[in-house]
Amino acid sequence: KGIPAKFDTGASKITGPPSMMKMFLNAIPKTCKNFPAAFPTFSFNFGGKDFNLSPCDYMYMDEIDKCKSVFTVEEIDLEILILGVPFMKTVYTVFHIQDE
């Protein structure tokens, strides 16, 4: 099922409807043992084209060397997918600003 998406250059995470974010989080192994081989690649489809997010794109080590994901569940019930820098760094992004 498709939902609207927003590309946000100021967002350091990926968030969206809680049910969708929980689906991503549940698919990620609970430990970083066997990283990245045991981790899935996630795919987003825009305009009929798939854009993949590899484990190295959505996982990182925090300041105490704990393995973390960029997927986050917000307290508010979002009806839109917000794709921040972790997604945008994986694609060639062009912004066209047109004079009115």
| 33-46 pLDDT per residue, tens | 888 999 999 999 98
Report which DSSP code applies to 14: E
Alpha carbons 52 and 43: distance in angstroms, whole number: 4
Residues facing residue 72 across a β-bridge? 15
pTM confidence score: 0.83
CB-CB contact of 3 with 79 (8 Å): yes
| 68-93 pLDDT per residue, tens | 999 999 877 778 999 999 999 998 77
